[in-house]
Amino acid sequence: MDGIHDLGGMHGFGPVPVDKDDYVFKHEWQRRSFGLTQALAGTTPYCADMHRFKIEKLLAIDYLQMDYFEKWAVATSELLKDAGLVSEAELSSGKKVFDVDLTRNTPATPEGLVEVMKSGAKLDFPPETSRPQFVVGETIRVSVNHASGHTRVPRYVRGKVGSIVADMGVFQFADTVAAGSGPHPQHCYTVEFTAGTLWGNGAERAGDRFYLDLAETYIDHL
């Protein structure tokens, strides 16, 4: 969806601060927010793309004012409510109010959570799952599609022409996974663009090259 989270290529927000030191949690609640999100994702029916979509749905003023891990906590809370694991009253009070429906959610052990977190998630599929619709070296145009749901194609590249430089294989499609409608596996391509193509006369160095990994659904034949 188009929202305040998609700032790539936009003016007026100043330079991006880059901290050369490794990130460290500045507060204990940030560490807890990170840990809870990672642990709960192993047993609750949601995934990273669903979590990102919840963050994208925040009001613009909240998105700009919230700490990074505050957004994580809000998104996780919304997903837990969707799963029927907590109520708004419980989140507000911090106290358990009703019993969890165990027909929808299976209890997890600490050992099980650690195992899930170590194993990770399977995101790719065998190449024969889906025939490629494009070939390396082909010139393509990115689709102009202002999706109302989650999407991984930034606004600044929509409608732009680029060249496929690599077929990265078959992966689950973030848009449909975020909507809870299945993996819809398809090829993902690395596409090369020039700065001049993306930003025209506003580009500082028009010849600079940019590379984006784009799902097959995002691109069209010329």
Q: Which domains does the chain have, with CATH numbers?
A: 28-119 (1.10.472.20), 124-221 (2.30.30.50)
pLDDT score at 60? 94
Are 210 and 8 a contacting pair, CB within 8 Å?
Answer: no
What's the whole-model pTM score?
A: 0.84
pLDDT < 50 stretches in the chain: none
pLDDT score at 101? 67
pLDDT score at 162? 97
pLDDT tens digits, 85-137: 888 889 888 888 767 666 666 667 777 777 777 776 677 888 888 899 999 99
Count of residues in the chain: 222
Pairing of strands 139-142, 161-171: antiparallel
* Residue 131, both tokens: 């025939």
